[in-house]
Amino acid sequence: MRSKDYYRLEVRLSTNPESVRQIYDASFFPSPEVGAGSDSADVSGRWAVDLRVPLAKGRLLRLVAKEMAAVLAHRSVDQIVGAGYGAFLLVGGILTYGADLSGGLIRESRKSYGFSRIVEGGLDAERPVFIVDDILSSGKSALRAAVLLREEGFRAVGVLTVFRYGWKEGLERLQDAHLVAESLATLQRRAEGNSQVTYSNPLSRAEAI
C-alpha cells in the first residue's frame, strides 16, 4: 500500500512553499473503500487524497487561503466563487485575506423559492471571476461551475486549485474551454529516484489578466 511517497509534489505558485507542503502532508488517508477509478484515489493503492479534512482545520485553511489570495492578487482578480464542500471552505478562508475580494457560492440546484438563484453571494457580473477548488482532476466539476456562471451572466475566466493531478486531463479541458487554469502545486507520479518535492519560483507563472 502506497501513500504520498508515490507522488512528486511540484510547488509552482507560492510565496511560502512550506505552507503547501504542510497541507499536502495532511491530505492523505487510508481508504480501503475507495476504488482505483475514483478521481480522489491513488491508483496504485488504497490511499486517498482528501483536502476537505485539512481545510476544515483553521490553521491549515489559513495557510492555503493566504497562498491562494496572493495568486489572485497577483492576477488582479477580486472575485471568487466555489462549488462543493472543499471549495466553500476555501472561499471563506480566502475572503479573510482580501479587503477588496468578493465571493460567491454555486448551489447544487436552483432554489425553488425566493430569488431562485443558483449562484449566491456578492458577485458583480461586470468583473471577471475565478473558480476556486481543492483539487483539479478530470476538470468536470470546474467546467460545470464555469458553464453555470456564464449562463447566469457572470464572466468566468479561470480556475485556481490547491493541487492538480498532473496525469489527468483536467488542465487540457479547462484550456479548451478558454479558462485560465492554475494550481499551487501539481501531484505527479514519482519515478524511482526522483525527488519527492520540487519548487519553482514563487508566483513565476501568474500573469495579470
- Return the pLDDT at 158: 97
- Return the pLDDT at 185: 94
Please tell me the distance from the alpha carbon of residue 209 to that of residue 32, in angstroms, as a whole number. 43
Phi, psi of 158, rounded to the nearest 5 degrees:
-165, 170
- The residues facing 133 across adjacent strands are 161
- From residue 134, how far is each of 21, 112, 153 by CA, in Å? 14, 28, 25
75 contacts 84 by C-beta, under 8 angstroms? no
Q: Domain locations in the chain?
A: 4-199
Q: Which three cell numbers stand for residue 46?
A: 488504497
Give pTM, 2 decimals: 0.85
pLDDT in tens, 62-82: 999 999 999 999 999 999 999
pLDDT in tens, 153-189: 999 999 999 999 999 999 999 999 999 999 999 999 8
86 contacts 133 by C-beta, under 8 angstroms? yes
Please tell me the distance from the alpha carbon of residue 101 to that of residue 83, in angstroms, as a whole number. 17
- Return the pLDDT at 42: 43
Cβ-Cβ contacts under 8 Å for 99 (sequence gap 6 or more): none
Q: Which residue has the higher pLDDT, 196 or 27?
A: 27
Cβ-Cβ contacts under 8 Å for 24 (sequence gap 6 or more): 4, 9, 163, 185
Lowest-pLDDT range, 31-35, 91-95, 137-141?
31-35
4-199: CATH topology is Rossmann fold (3.40.50)
Mean pLDDT of 8-17: 87
- What's the mean pLDDT when you consider all of the chain? 84
